[in-house]
Structure 1
Amino acid sequence: MIVLAAAALVVSGCTTTITGTPTAGVSEQLGPKGPVPAGLERFYGQPLTWRDCRSMIHDDESKSAFTAKGAECSLLSVPLDYAKPDGRTIAVGVLRLRASGEKVGSLIINPGGPGGSGMSAASYIAGKAKKTALVRRFDIVGFDPRGVGASEPRIECLDDAEMDAERVAPSLDTVPEVEAENKQFADKCVQRSGGAEVLANVGTRDVVRDMDVLRSALGEEKLDYLGYSYGTRIGTAYAEAFPGNIRSMVLDGAVDPTEDPVRQGINQVKGFEQALDAYFGQCGRCKVTGKPQLESLIRPLEDKPLRVGDRSLSLSDASTGIAAALYNDEYWPVLTQALEELAEGKGDTLLLLADAYLGRDDKGEYTNLMAALTAIRCVDEPRITDRGQLAATAQQIAEGTKGTFMADTDPPLPALDTCAFWPVPNTSEPHQPKVAGIPTLLVISTTGDPATPYEAGVNLAKDLNGRLITYRATQHTAFLEGSSCVDNAGVDYLVELKLPAKDLIC
């Protein structure tokens, strides 16, 4: 990405806007607003220079999102290390679609991951919300968290060829082999992402500080935020760090902040198993009618991947493609097609599903989603480095997921994972959020959510003293996904601060 220098004149003040040429952009200084932490004045009060987003396109996803009508983009300057505010700075990509009517504020969005592009999400969500008051009353704003997407420096681990090769490589059977591969991956992340100092500062702890800088630079006294999936972790961490800076917050598809990674993983496997059962339960005319038949189709792929053009469908990719289609029951017809093709010896649709999940386009180029996901998790969560714990942990996972489809296709080994070889310590750990003084927030949880199971949302609503919307469906996240019950409640809250009178079931 080319970082363009600001060419428009900036005049001090809170609302001054100077219009420049389309290539130079429009520089706008609206901050500082709200409390400014000591030493960070130049960041909280910085001007943002808004330009046509096309100069920041870096992959197929951004090409589609960044060419949306009315989209404008900027770069936010933040410290790499907030403990050293006078040291190295990095750039956070920001995309905005202006409110079409009387403005309430800026609604900042994160779609999850970790590693998902908030810039692309803002464009996508604005499209889905075009008939609601959200786009009339809010600037819709998305940012790519540090290390992600259009932000610089980017987290990079494997190149495109290495990603392709890893997907079709045979499973490793021994602990030393697995650990050697995990260490090599961690080493490449360090080398290709700009060193250990970059990786030490890509966690949620630092993302929420960036988000508060963005709030101020956008000229907002208080934050309005919509977070999906991992984005709920960002929201929870922001509420802890800046409890007095919140106006509204919708958290959909919650990550339970008290759960350790092992328990979280077990619950997710069970969630996908529940979704797979629901899929087969409604699949009366399907040719693949249940898990025994499904396993008989994909098991041979471990030893003999299925040719798909000049590529191959591995067991790993088949499992990934199936999981991708279980995120939403709208994708179930695609899953039916994919499994019927597999029964006929074809793997085209399953491979496309796996490609979409892993961020690969039809040119063979990957987004940095999976690299960022690993790097962020390695500094967000405690890791196991004590070999004495490994066997017990592997047994806990095996017992907790026994008999599930995903566990049977990927049995655990008592090996140190990638994060055990990470060069920097974790900066967060599971805990009960301390959020005294926050306003009442809105949490949405879906009963059949495979990726972030329903109880996680119930627990988060209790942890944050929030209002809970329960959505009865099988899908991951619900807001702006077609339920008028969920959508109306969410929009009323964000725009008018009107909460449901009590916990709501949709």
Structure 2
Amino acid sequence: MNKRFMLRLRLMLGLALCSAVTAHANAAATTSPTKACRLPDFPQEVQCGQVQRPLNPAQPQGKQIDIQYVVIPSQDRNKLPDAVFLLAGGPGQSAISVASWATTLMARLNRRRDLVFVDQRGTGRSAPLECPELEKAEEVLSPEQRVKVTDDCMRQLQTLPYGELQYFGTSIAMQDLEAVRLKQGYGRINVVGASYGTRAGLEYLRQFPQSVRRIVLDGVVPPSMRLASADAQKALDALFRDCKKEAACNASYPDLENRWKKLLASQPQKISITHPRMGTPIKTEMTRDSLLGLVHKSLYSPNSLSALPYALTQAEQGNYAPLVTMTGATNLPGPGGISYGMHFSVWCGEAFAQSASLPANDDFEKLMADQYTQTCKKWPRSEIPADFFKVPASASPALLLSGGLDPVTPTRYGDEVAKALGPNARHVVIENTGHGLLAQGCIRDVVHRFLNAKEDSEAVKVDTTCVRQIPRALAWQAPVPPAASKVGKEAKP
């Protein structure tokens, strides 16, 4: 063969190869499980997908719902196949709505791994079960108002095309998650659950152990947990004890425990405050239950906990604005908002079912029990698998995170679950931190090392020496304005 013929042959083969690659790429694009989309908090395009799922798994050809999810793709050429799935809290929080925050926390992981955010059925974009009158929280609702609003919402939700509320439990939702994994073509995945998302993650691990490479549980909610007030009274009692020991706190807020008891006993009261966001007056009745509910919210974070002595003493003087404001009771619904219809569909069957026959041990437990009793006696409940309430031993490494001041998921829950999971579980505790550790100190680095370890044996022995125990936040003190005479003297030329 002459050289000219050989060159022409090579050119033709090259063109054919390019055409084949282009055709393959076009075919892949048309069959891609996701498409480019925009999210409010992302400057770049991300990938959106959906998978159609039966509302009732026992009727696979029956009524269908769309489970929506978002993928933040890795941009690395050497992309790793084990994606990270984040399971949101609540129950009732949209995973997609917190994707921006979570991506910031897991940016290092995102370099080589996809991050996946699935809106659990009943939340966000996946057949949402929203109760706007509960979610907007424009004012403090009395227990009677809350019951009425909740009942009205249940009836409205039942008129939706997917309004069979008994099909929104955790077990069914984790089958949806597995369907997303399969549609995306992932092998074993890494699961990161926060708060209620830890319970969902444990259920996914129970049903699909072969699909889990590693699991991170932040603020551990065991499947056997009662309603979320387990350690609220203990957290409040610890605040009273520590305030008494701290000289500055005790000087500013003496006898805080007894003053709290008197404040609680003095309810109900008609109160008037200025809406901190809108500047309009709010007149409402502060009941005993409303006050307990506001204090309960303040116990989650060490920052709000440190401001609680001030807020309580102000309320004692008739000024409830600091307490209402710092607990977010007048905030607009934010990215971390709760779809209360989904919340009750999950909690009434799973947590309330564990609590209904047990006596309440303190004011906070009684408050939760009373509120859920009124709602759950009417709310349709999921059918819960018998094994749901057990935590099986796991071959997959697990990293558990707990805060020592957490009023809802105390450290003993992490201990309990770590013991059940077996020798492949590690439990990290920061004593003077509240609910949720992923954003605390070097925890994100520990999580990165845990998920990035090549071998399971390395992951189980992840280095946690960077984690430091921190002191409890000091009680907040109101700034003292300078004396008028001093200001006057300083103002003279």
What TM-score do the two structures reach when normalised by structure 1?
0.72
Q: Describe how 1:182-261 pairs up with structure 2 within 5 A.
A: 185-186=150-151, 188-193=153-158, 194=160, 198-259=164-225, 261=226
**Do 1:450 and 1:474's aligned partners in 2 also have CA atoms closer than 8 Å?**
no
> Cα 1:200–1:439, aligned 2, differ >3 Å: closer, same or farther?
same
Q: 2:236 aligns with which of 262, 270, 273?
A: 273
Q: Describe how 1:56-135 pairs up with structure 2 within 5 A.
A: 66-67=41-42, 69-101=44-76, 102-104=78-80, 105-130=82-107, 133-135=108-110
Q: Which amino acid aligns with 1:124?
A: W
RMSD: 3.9
Q: Which amino acid aligns with 1:159?
A: E
> Cα 1:448–1:430, aligned 2, differ >3 Å: closer, same or farther?
farther
Q: Describe how 1:419-438 pairs up with structure 2 within 5 A.
A: 419-428=376-385, 433=390, 435=392, 438=395
Cα distance, 1:258 vs structure 2: 3.2
User: In the TM superposition, what whole-angstrom CA distance separates every residue of 1:342-369 from its partner, at most 9, and x where no partner exists?
Assistant: 355433332234445xxx6448999543
What is the aligned partner in structure 2 of residue 490 from structure 1? Answer: 447
Q: Which amino acid aligns with 2:421?
A: L
User: In the TM superposition, what whole-angstrom CA distance separates every residue of 1:134-163 from its partner, at most 9, and x where no partner exists?
Assistant: 2322222222211112222x2134636996
What is the aligned partner in structure 2 of residue 323 from structure 1? Answer: 296
Matched, 1:146 2:111: no
Q: Distance in 2 between the 1:420 and 1:17 partners?
A: 50
Q: Distance in 2 between the 1:363 and 1:377 partners?
A: 21
What is the aligned partner in structure 2 of residue 36 from structure 1? Answer: none
**Do 2:193 and 2:218's aligned partners in 1 also have CA atoms closer than 8 Å?**
yes
- SS of the aligned residue for 1:470 comes to strand
Q: 2:133 aligns with which of 159, 181, 203?
A: 159
> Cα 1:462–1:306, aligned 2, differ >3 Å: closer, same or farther?
same
Gaps of 5+ in 2: 1-21, 275-279, 468-493
Q: Describe how 1:300-319 pairs up with structure 2 within 5 A.
A: 300-308=266-274, 309-312=280-283, 314-315=286-287, 316-319=289-292
Cα distance, 1:282 vs structure 2: 7.2
> Cα 1:156–1:351, aligned 2, differ >3 Å: closer, same or farther?
same
- SS of the aligned residue for 2:231 comes to helix
> Cα 1:14–1:161, aligned 2, differ >3 Å: closer, same or farther?
closer
Number of residue pairs matched by the alignment? 428
Gaps of 5+ in 1: 1-10, 19-26, 30-46, 55-65, 173-177
**Do 2:91 and 2:338's aligned partners in 1 also have CA atoms closer than 8 Å?**
no
Matched, 1:352 2:310: no
**Do 2:446 and 2:462's aligned partners in 1 also have CA atoms closer than 8 Å?**
no
Larger CA deviation: 154-163 vs 121-130: 154-163
Q: Percent identity?
A: 21
**Do 1:99 and 1:139's aligned partners in 2 also have CA atoms closer than 8 Å?**
yes
Cα distance, 1:504 vs structure 2: 6.4
Q: Distance in 2 between the 1:415 and 1:206 partners?
A: 22
Q: Distance in 1 between the 2:63 and 2:115 partners?
A: 29
Cα distance, 1:245 vs structure 2: 1.0
- SS of the aligned residue for 1:293 comes to helix
Q: Describe how 1:362-401 pairs up with structure 2 within 5 A.
A: 362=332, 367-381=337-351, 383=353, 393=358, 396-397=359-360, 400-401=361-362
What is the aligned partner in structure 2 of residue 472 from structure 1? Answer: 430
Q: Which amino acid aligns with 1:77?
A: Q
Matched, 1:441 2:417: no
- SS of the aligned residue for 1:483 comes to coil
Cα distance, 1:274 vs structure 2: 5.1
